Homo-oligomer: A and B are copies of this chain.
Amino acid sequence: MSSSKYQFIHNIIPHLSPSQKGQGRANVNIALAKYWGKRDIELNLPTNSSLSISLPGLGTETTIQWIDNSKDTITLNDQPCKPEQPFAARLSHFLEPFRPDPQGGFEIKTHNSVPTAAGLASSASGYAALVLALNDCFQWQLDLKSLSLLARLGSGSASRSVYDGFAIWHQGQQQDGMDSFAEKIDQAWSNLKIGLLEIDISEKPIGSTQGMQQTVNHCELYQAWPQKAEKDVVTLQSAIANQDFTLLGTTAENNALSMHATMLATWPPICYFQPDSIQAMQQVWQLRAQGTEVYFTMDAGPNLKLLFLEKDQQQLKESFPNLKVIHPFSVESETTT
């Protein structure tokens, strides 16, 4: 591990003495202005700020316990993971700087209520839940900003998953990464709905980290992205403050398509679109042309996430029979299908 990462962590955590079995839970989040590109790979520092909304009811629950004279044992959704599996290897690597003793290991049990690695940001809720569980295990009593900083090291978008509702991850300017964390945008929007349209939940052909670095290095159109993304974050903040749904939807859809555009323009090309993604996009555009105000966003995967208002929910469930509707700000906080 590099000294910059070690120093970063020890600037934040007060000690390495575990005191109990810790637990944490966090929701996935969907970026309305995307994170696409790192300026520092070691510290997971982004080239631009991003803005997200949390999906209540979809996320990760994790328990963690320190065991002396043991290796890490990791179970995912009640299935033991072999240490060499990418999921387990990445997790154990992340935990390196948190080990009180090189001879021991962590026992981690994690449950995802979203498919793993299918562009539904399970790594965001996963690393946020893990950091919350570590905070509980070590009884550090860190504030949310510090937890966001730590979660960022596991997965950039995890920095946003320590909050409910809207969150903004500030790009930050410092080399040490201490100013690149997420904050809650303390604003509810009760009639805003999210619809999950699963096109394909199999493993992605190329992971986000590899995809974004290929784009940064091998896409001639990427140079315009960071500034555009930064502008979109400002526009979305204004849309949220004024509950201007048209501004929110147009900005989010254009931001998502612009991110996918940078991928397509990369060599070799990165294309997360599947034929059914295009068909669903066309259906959204057709609905909009017919007067139903619905927008979509897409992450590094083929699935669409629809943005709409409560009044159009029935219409959308008719147009997309498999739509899973999420209520980000209702007291019910339930997923309905």
Give residues 75-112 of A contacting B (CB, 8 Å).
none
A278 within 8 Å of B (CB atoms):
yes
Q: A221-B225, A224-B220, A228-B220 are known contacts. Are A254 and B273 too (CB-CB below 8 A)?
A: no
Instruction: Give A278's nearest chain B residue, CB to CB.
Output: B275
A262 within 8 Å of B (CB atoms):
yes
Give residues 258-292 of A contacting B (CB, 8 Å).
258, 260-262, 264-265, 267, 269, 271, 273-279, 281-282, 285
Collect the chain B residues with CB atoms within 8 Å of residue A260's CB. 264
Say which residue of B227, B261, B281 sits within 8 Å of A261 (CB atoms).
B261
Instruction: Give A263's nearest chain B residue, CB to CB.
Output: B261
Instruction: Give A267's nearest chain B residue, CB to CB.
Output: B254
Q: A223-B224, A228-B221 are known contacts. Are A265 and B258 too (CB-CB below 8 A)?
A: yes
Collect the chain B residues with CB atoms within 8 Å of residue A224's CB. 220-224
Find out whether the CB atom of B269 lies under 8 angstroms from the CB atom of A265. Answer: no
CA A267 to CA B258, docked complex, whole Å: 10
A186-221 interface bits toward B, Cβ cutoff 8 Å, 1 = contact, 0 = none: 000000000000000000000000000000000011
CA A260 to CA B221, docked complex, whole Å: 12
Q: A220-B228, A221-B225, A223-B224 are known contacts. Are A271 and B281 too (CB-CB below 8 A)?
A: yes
Find out whether the CB atom of B253 lies under 8 angstroms from the CB atom of A257. Answer: no
Find out whether the CB atom of A261 lies under 8 angstroms from the CB atom of B265. Answer: yes
What is the predominant secondary structure among interface residues of chain A facing chain B?
helix
A250 within 8 Å of B (CB atoms):
yes
Taking the nearest CB of chain B, how far is it from the CB of A301, in angstroms? 14
Collect the chain B residues with CB atoms within 8 Å of residue A223's CB. 224
Find out whether the CB atom of A220 lies under 8 angstroms from the CB atom of B258. Answer: yes
Find out whether the CB atom of B273 lies under 8 angstroms from the CB atom of A221. Answer: no
CA A278 to CA B273, docked complex, whole Å: 7
Taking the nearest CB of chain B, how far is it from the CB of A212, in angstroms? 15
Collect the chain B residues with CB atoms within 8 Å of residue A282's CB. 271
CA A260 to CA B220, docked complex, whole Å: 14
Collect the chain B residues with CB atoms within 8 Å of residue A277's CB. 278
Give residues 19-34 of A contacting B (CB, 8 Å).
none
CA A260 to CA B266, docked complex, whole Å: 12
CA A221 to CA B258, docked complex, whole Å: 8
Collect the chain B residues with CB atoms within 8 Å of residue A250's CB. 267
Collect the chain B residues with CB atoms within 8 Å of residue A228's CB. 220-221
Collect the chain B residues with CB atoms within 8 Å of residue A261's CB. 221, 261-262, 264-265
Taking the nearest CB of chain B, how far is it from the CB of A277, in angstroms? 8
Q: A224-B224, A254-B269 are in contact. List 11 more A-B contacts (CB 8 A).
A: A222-B224, A250-B267, A254-B267, A257-B269, A260-B264, A261-B265, A271-B285, A274-B278, A275-B276, A275-B278, A277-B278
Q: Which residues of A contact B (CB under 8 A)?
A: 220-225, 227-228, 231, 250, 253-254, 257-258, 260-262, 264-265, 267, 269, 271, 273-279, 281-282, 285
Q: Which 3 A-B pairs have the closest CB atoms?
A: A275-B275, A261-B261, A261-B265
User: Could you show 13 A-B contacts with beta carbons less than 8 Å apart?
Assistant: A220-B227, A220-B231, A221-B221, A221-B224, A224-B224, A254-B269, A257-B265, A261-B265, A271-B278, A271-B281, A273-B278, A275-B278, A275-B279
